[in-house]
Amino acid sequence: MQTDSSFTFVLFGGTGDLSMRKILPALYEAHRAGMLAASGKIVAVARHEEDRAGYLQWVNEHVKAHVAKSGIDENAWASFVDRIEYVKLDLGKAEDFVKLRDALQDHAGTRVFYLATGPSLFVPICHALASVGLNQNARIVLEKPLGYDLRSSNAINDAVGEIFAEEQIYRIDHYLGKEPVQNLLALRFGNALFEPLWRREWVESIQITIAEELGVEARGDFYDNTGALRDMVQNHLLQLLSIVAMEPPHSMDSDSVRDEKLRVLRALKPIDPRDISKVAVRGQYHAGVIRGTSVPAYATESGVKTDSATETFVALKVEIENWRWAGVPFFLRTGKRLADRVAEIVVNFRAVPHSALGASALRAGANRLVIRLQPNETIRLYCLAKKPGEGMNLSSVHLDLAFDQFFKEGQMEAYQRLLLDVINGRLALFVRRDEQEAAWKWVEPILNEWAASGKPKPYAAGTWGPAAASAMLAQHGTCWLEEEN
């Protein structure tokens, strides 16, 4: 589906890593698929290239490598590049924003300002846009992290909110644009089969994991001042939890969906600081082996303090205090340098109350739903069936929905979907301010306790994190799903 009307997409940080790897490739894919209005323009803003020719050379050298697994359509690429304009801009010079305003004067349609920059630049850019009148009838996209804690997040939101109305602000969380997350909504609210089971009477526990094999790479300075709780839990994991646990919205419009997510976030059971050690595990990777290659300890990575107490692993037990989920533990886990790269949601259903078929029918996890977000996007339902042969011997079997096999057309990448939603003014997949505040309020006691207490537990790179994370689940008679799919 093509974008509804003409647009001008202004990309601050046009030569940055995010623009190179995600944003420009996503816009190219939308262009190649005929999803962008023919009159739409992309205006890259940066200070490194002198002119449009220099910027387009950078695009051809750096962006092409991140485009399309199936390869480049040279005709589509040429017409995509024709859309791109360039403005050399120094954020410290007010006259440069006058130059930007002048460059946009002849462009009709919706204006989108995408801030693919560090959060310290969000407010100065917004003030500069307002000083030349570019905040009127425009949309602004803010990348995470939006603040370091509740106070700093509120400060940024307050400042941006003085310039842009809430309905103009798109706080992006790319996990919300992933196809399986969209399918989770379809699975729950489009099928009578699952919705009656999606509650405490039938669900024993739920796990949400985002695991990475990579370390901090070249982001040591940033990561050492952030940590896994801020980088992954406060946004990605709590957003996924809210979608898994939310009540059915009355429609899929933006506020209906976000109202239900907010109710979940506000229903999270507050964590007593005295109980944090029981329900929260933090770890930091030491040297180890990933797929046969030795990798260094976190403390020896470039940009990391040698005595750093920053966590690279977090596991949490979360409870939701509402009628649907009372008593059901949600286990969240994320980490770097783990045994595999995987993001998945595991719904463990309760065992049958009595089995005439033997003890195997009563084992934990016999019935579970696994929704995998990466690396391959699938939904798998596990159940028990009789093994062929004599006797009633049960074995685990599964039903697969592999999207790439079932749907022949290519899947839309998360950034592509989200950028199209920004251009078309659809807010449902973007984080509203009150959601963000509720998430920060919930994680803040953990942040404060960890800042005042000792160091994270060590774990070897290439493993699944500290043993304490597994022990936390064992107390509830379950374990992390760590098998190959």
End residue of a domain, out of 120, 143, 166? 143
Band of residue 58 on the pLDDT scale cut at 50, 70, 90 = very high
Q: Which of 66, 236, 286, 398 is catalytic?
A: 236
Contact between residue 421 and residue 429 where contact means Cβ atoms under 8 Å apart: yes
Secondary structure of residue 179 in the 3-state scheme = helix
Given strand 378-386, what is the order of strands in its sheet? 394-402, 378-386, 368-374, 342-349, 203-211, 330-335, 313-318, 280-286, 457-460
- Whichever domain contains 200, its CATH number is 3.30.360.10
Q: What are the strands, taking DSSP E only, across 134-292?
A: 138-142, 169-171, 203-211, 280-286, 288-290
Q: Which residue has the tokens 């939310």?
A: 246
162 assigned to some structural domain: no
Burial of 121: CB neighbours in 10 Å, binned 0-12, 13-18, 19+: middle
Quick one: 210 and 101 in the same domain? Answer: no
Secondary structure of residue 83 in the 3-state scheme = helix
469 assigned to some structural domain: yes
- Residue with the larger pLDDT of the pair 271 and 404: 271
Tens digits of residue pLDDT in 186-233: 888 988 888 889 999 999 999 999 999 999 987 888 899 999 999 999
For residues 146 and 37, give the distance between their C-alpha atoms in angstroms, rounded to a whole number.
31
CA-based Rg of the chain, rounded to a whole angstrom? 24
DSSP 463: B
Q: Which residue has the tokens 């000792």?
A: 454
Whole-structure pTM value: 0.92
Quick one: 193 and 114 in the same domain? Answer: no
Extract the tokens encoding 324. 């649907």
For residues 50 and 480, give the distance between their C-alpha atoms in angstroms, rounded to a whole number.
52
Phi, psi of 205 (to 5 degrees): -165, 165
Contact between residue 87 and residue 102 where contact means Cβ atoms under 8 Å apart: no
For residues 157 and 146, give the distance between their C-alpha atoms in angstroms, rounded to a whole number.
8
Residue type, 271: I
Task: Please tell me the number of Cα atoms within 13 Å of 438 on its side-chain side.
Answer: 20
Quick one: 181 and 94 in the same domain? Answer: no
235 assigned to some structural domain: yes
Query: Is 4's pLDDT higher than 60?
Result: no
Residue 317: which domain range?
A: 176-413+432-474
Quick one: 133 and 277 in the same domain? Answer: no
Number of domains in the chain: 2
Quick one: 102 and 247 in the same domain? Answer: no
- Whichever domain contains 129, its CATH number is 3.40.50.720
Nearest to 142 by CA among 111, 100, 163, 173: 173
Secondary structure of residue 460 in the 3-state scheme = strand
Can you give the pLDDT at residue 364?
65
Quick one: 136 and 231 in the same domain? Answer: no
Band of residue 485 on the pLDDT scale cut at 50, 70, 90 = very low
Secondary structure of residue 377 in the 3-state scheme = coil
483 assigned to some structural domain: no
The yes-or-no answer on residue 236 being catalytic is: yes
For residues 372 and 360, give the distance between their C-alpha atoms in angstroms, rounded to a whole number.
26
Tens digits of residue pLDDT in 290-310: 999 999 999 999 999 999 999
Q: Are strands 41-46 and 84-88 parallel, antiparallel or unpaired?
A: parallel
For residues 465 and 338, give the distance between their C-alpha atoms in angstroms, rounded to a whole number.
7
Binding site membership: which residues? 47, 90-91, 144, 174, 178, 212, 231, 336
Tens digits of residue pLDDT in 227-265: 999 999 999 999 999 999 999 999 888 899 999 999 999
Quick one: 372 and 225 in the same domain? Answer: yes
279 assigned to some structural domain: yes
Quick one: 76 and 13 in the same domain? Answer: yes
Query: Is 71's pLDDT higher than 80?
Result: no
Quick check: bond before 375 cis, omega within 30? yes
Contact between residue 330 and residue 245 where contact means Cβ atoms under 8 Å apart: yes
For residues 57 and 53, give the distance between their C-alpha atoms in angstroms, rounded to a whole number.
6
Tens digits of residue pLDDT in 107-148: 888 999 999 998 889 999 999 999 999 999 999 999 887 888
Quick one: 290 and 343 in the same domain? Answer: yes
Binding site membership for substrate: which residues? 174, 178, 212, 231, 336
Burial of 209: CB neighbours in 10 Å, binned 0-12, 13-18, 19+: buried
Quick one: 15 and 107 in the same domain? Answer: yes
Quick one: 180 and 129 in the same domain? Answer: no
Query: Is 268's pLDDT higher than 80?
Result: yes
403 assigned to some structural domain: yes
For residues 471 and 352, give the distance between their C-alpha atoms in angstroms, rounded to a whole number.
25
Nearest to 481 by CA among 330, 353, 399, 370: 370
Quick check: bond before 145 cis, omega within 30? yes
For residues 163 and 159, give the distance between their C-alpha atoms in angstroms, rounded to a whole number.
7
Phi, psi of 457 (to 5 degrees): -75, 140
Handedness of CA 156, 334, 337, 275 (dihedral sign): positive
Extract the tokens encoding 237. 């994991």
127 assigned to some structural domain: yes
How much of the chain is helix, strand and coil, in % rounded to 5? 40, 20, 40
- Residue with the larger pLDDT of the pair 120 and 154: 154
Quick one: 220 and 334 in the same domain? Answer: yes
Extract the tokens encoding 320. 């939701």
Query: Is 355's pLDDT higher than 50?
Result: yes
End residue of a domain, out of 143, 163, 198? 143
Burial state string for 407-431 with b = 16 or more CB within 10 A and e = fewer than 16: eeeeebbbbbbbbbbbbebbbbbbb
Query: Is 3's pLDDT higher than 60?
Result: no
End residue of a domain, out of 83, 118, 143? 143
Q: Which residue has the tokens 């239900």?
A: 260
374 assigned to some structural domain: yes
